[in-house]
A and B are shown apart, each in its own frame.
Chain A
């Protein structure tokens, strides 16, 4: 699953650690999501989208095979 977290973070000017703190996960989890090594749960996806004031499908995009 592709995502725009890195871009949205840059726009909001927050670090991985700050985003992690806001959505109550570890920085490593944010790092793994950004690197597309881990697909977050629906709850976490919605929380991340809320931090950026966007909808979930503006942040996450399904890829072929998902």
Chain B
């Protein structure tokens, strides 16, 4: 059975590289009170009232200037997009020994990720209030894909351990 709608296996190392680099940027920004490791700003025209920009500036990396422009910090957008793209590529590119069973493992991991993510979300809705819930929403952008990738690769790793032979190692890649 041929598995459909997957990226070629050669994309996988690129996905891991993108995910690793972007994760370092994102985690360092989170640990450093939202300040990214590198600065990359862009100034764009802002056709709305200053107070609207003021309201939006509760989000970091948004500065309003009186000449009708805003300056955006783009590193957080870039690192978030790269983490999401990296997770997607790693999760949905073919493994070397792709077949119908690995496709089934992938789908089961996806189901597991949705269950896990929903459970986390339910707990957060019950226990977290106010602006702190914004953090939940931010993490929730990544958690379904993250749980999926972790679960799928854990299954592949377990499989390679059970199967034992060198071929098993190839499967985990």
Contact = CB atoms under 8 A, between A and B. Distances in A.
A57 to B, nearest CB: 20
A26 B160 CA distance: 11
Contact of B97 (A28, A41, A43): A28
Contacts, number: 40
Interface residues of A, number: 14
Interface footprint category on B: 10 to 19
Contacts of A27: 97, 163, 165, 167
A3 interface: no
Contacts of B168: 28
B99 interface: yes
19 contacts: A17-B167, A24-B99, A25-B99, A25-B100, A26-B97, A26-B101, A26-B167, A27-B165, A28-B97, A28-B159, A28-B168, A28-B171, A29-B102, A31-B162, A32-B101, A38-B104, A40-B100, A43-B1, A44-B1
Interface of B: 1, 97, 99-102, 104, 159-160, 162-163, 165, 167-168, 171
The 5 closest A-B pairs by CB, nearest first: A26-B97, A25-B99, A29-B101, A28-B163, A27-B167
